[in-house]
Chain A
């Protein structure tokens, strides 16, 4: 396949992700992981986590930011533009349709029950992503505490995610610098 066809494929994949991203932000992580890492093998789990960290450090939606990175990573600047547009397009189209039919959709009973079903499933999807992504970090006490500490500080003390990322980066620099990546990543 040539570069142009690959770019179209990436565009369509991102459109698919954009169409099924419900609940915003983290809800798209399982989908993106499946498509980017497992199906298309564009990146591995480790780089995926790095992208999430980078995307969090910049303002804006997680899906748009990580798509832009992937596009740039695969095809340079044109790829970034195509990827960004691909992930935005479904939302724009869907919202315009809804904006036109605003009143009728708002009080639709079936629509409401569909979403009542989807909301708890979003939780399962995210948890499933955590299970898979967890495989890319070493399983030891230090990393267990690291994960737990960031969960607790965000979920219960409302610490801003950027602070967690910066502090962890500094800690990582102190702990792992000079060490030749000999810890085994399974």
Chain B
């Protein structure tokens, strides 16, 4: 039981500092899980990150579930994943409550009119960072173009786009 509580508290701490999502949490996970608690080795963590990055879902949830499972079995997995989201959940609920009450105020509207173009920029910058690792050869450029064409011109659902890309990967590689 103590180990389950430990997993929960450790991932709660990791989650509380995970600004910018999962990738930003990885150094923290390494410090807490590998060095402080010695629950897994660094090599195991690297393997876990590789798996987690190619598995659907947020990296934070995936890695906390995986590490939690390795350390404390089924209950450990639950403790890890709930622990990692609990702080975000509380903060986001408070934020939602106040934002919904204030969003029609002129000042708040003005602030968000400024934030919107920045968020579009934020998302666009993700295209560049994803491109750095995923556009590696002519085939990957072709897949990107085919899927983009499908989304814009044929209006296919994003999920279908992902499935299509997976099939293209099997055929081309």
With A130-B120, A151-B125: A121-B165 Cβ-Cβ less than 8 Å? yes
Identify which of A25, A69, A124, A134 contacts B126 (C-beta below 8 A): A25
Chain B residues, Cβ within 8 Å of A60: 15, 18, 21, 60, 84-85, 87-89, 91-92
Chain A residues, Cβ within 8 Å of B131: 123
B62 engages A95 (CB within 8 Å): yes
Q: What is the total number of residues of chain B having a CB less than 8 Å from a CB of chain A?
A: 96
Nearest CB in chain B: distance from A80 CB, A: 5
With A77-B93, A95-B52, A119-B134: A143-B57 Cβ-Cβ less than 8 Å? no
> How distant is the Cα of A160 from the Cα of B168 in the complex, in angstroms?
35
Q: What is the total number of residues of chain A having a CB less than 8 Å from a CB of chain B?
A: 103
B129 engages A72 (CB within 8 Å): no
Chain B residues, Cβ within 8 Å of A176: 109-110, 113-114
> How distant is the Cα of A63 from the Cα of B106 in the complex, in angstroms?
28
A115 at the interface (CB under 8 A from B): yes
**CB-defined interface of B117-150 with A at 8 Å, one 1/0 digit per residue?**
1111111111111110111000011011101100
Number of A-B contacts (CB under 8 A): 354
The A interface is mostly helix, strand or loop, or mixed, namely helix
Nearest CB in chain B: distance from A154 CB, A: 4
A31 at the interface (CB under 8 A from B): yes
With A58-B91, A172-B114: A94-B55 Cβ-Cβ less than 8 Å? yes
A91 engages B57 (CB within 8 Å): yes
A164 engages B59 (CB within 8 Å): no
Minimum CB distance partner of A128 in chain B: B151
**A/B interface sample: 20 pairs, CB < 8 A:** A20-B56, A30-B151, A53-B112, A60-B89, A60-B92, A64-B58, A68-B89, A91-B62, A92-B78, A105-B51, A117-B170, A117-B173, A120-B134, A123-B130, A131-B152, A161-B20, A161-B122, A169-B112, A170-B111, A175-B114
